[in-house]
Amino acid sequence: MNELPNPTMPLSPVSLPRGSLHRPDPAQPAAERGAVTVAWARHADEVRQAQRLRFDVFAGEMGARLDTPVPGHDVDLFDDFCEHLLVRDSASGEVVGTYRVLTPAQARRVGSTYSDTEFDLTRLRTLRERMVELGRSCVHPDHRHGGVILALWGALAEFMVRNQLDTMIGCASIPMLHEGVVSGHAAASIWRQVRETHLAPIEYHVRPRLPLPVERLDDTLPVEPPALIKGYLRLGAKVLGAPAWDPDFNTADLPMLMRIADLPPRYRKHFLGR
């Protein structure tokens, strides 16, 4: 078992009930309230658990073609430079959700962020010193309820504030499979919706390296964004530009930016207590 360096800050366990913005009732049994705990991976074996969950969801459920050195695990070159946030089911101890976090210092060490491989991020250069990248967001299909997502977001908000970081970026994926048909029409329609309501100021726009050809797609479908993207938008996130096509994951990826200062008051109070 290889020990990892301690995360930049200590993180206390957090428990949240299913689909709630409130702390659970201590008198209610954990099994009844679907309690989860969240903590940073402390050693390589815990990172492997996250990578195994990622493989099951991305390859097994979504059909991604993963080039991985460890069979049955989603592993890439950025993993060794990231801190890995894990959500566990309190009853079973199983990892049911994960994010990986690439800090500015570690991004300098590896030479870029993952988002740099999909987008030209030149216009974000002034933000990089206090900007982290969130990636590989993943939740087990049996645990896709508010408690897991809120536990992850609460831990991330605490991490950002305590380390005096203020900006988060990442690639938010839209599956190319819509109603059984592999196409980009749903992604084009979602891009049309979000650019009308949540597009960032032009000084932060980025360009996809492999653009989804939205101009040749039907962008009039009445489809909703994936739940995670809707959640980001509720937290004040902005879309930085048109989607890239990721052929390995067969997704359209939207570049997104979220700043602590833009958190709506409701979520600021919940996550930061102020």
The per-residue DSSP string of 43-102 comes to BHHHHHHHHHHHHIIIIIIT------SSTTS---TTGGGSEEEEEEETTT--EEEEEEEE
Instruction: Tell me if residue 256 falls in helix, strand or coil.
Output: strand
H or E element in which residue 173 lies: strand 167-175
Class of domain 30-272: alpha beta
Type of residue found at 222 = P
Query: Does the pTM of the predicted model rise above 0.75?
Result: yes
Instruction: Tell me if residue 134 falls in helix, strand or coil.
Output: strand
Q: Residues 6 or more apart from 148 whose CB is under 8 A from it?
A: 36, 87, 96, 97, 139
Q: Would you write out the chain's pLDDT as a tens digit for each of its 274 residues?
A: 344 433 433 333 333 222 222 333 444 443 344 689 999 999 999 999 999 999 999 999 888 999 999 999 999 999 999 999 999 999 999 999 999 999 999 999 999 999 999 999 999 999 999 999 999 999 999 988 778 888 899 999 999 999 999 999 999 999 887 656 568 999 999 999 999 999 999 999 999 999 999 999 999 999 999 888 999 999 999 999 999 999 998 899 999 999 999 999 988 888 888 7
Look up residue 3 and give its DSSP letter: B
What is the C-alpha to C-alpha distance for residues 227 and 206, in angstroms, rounded to an integer?
A: 23
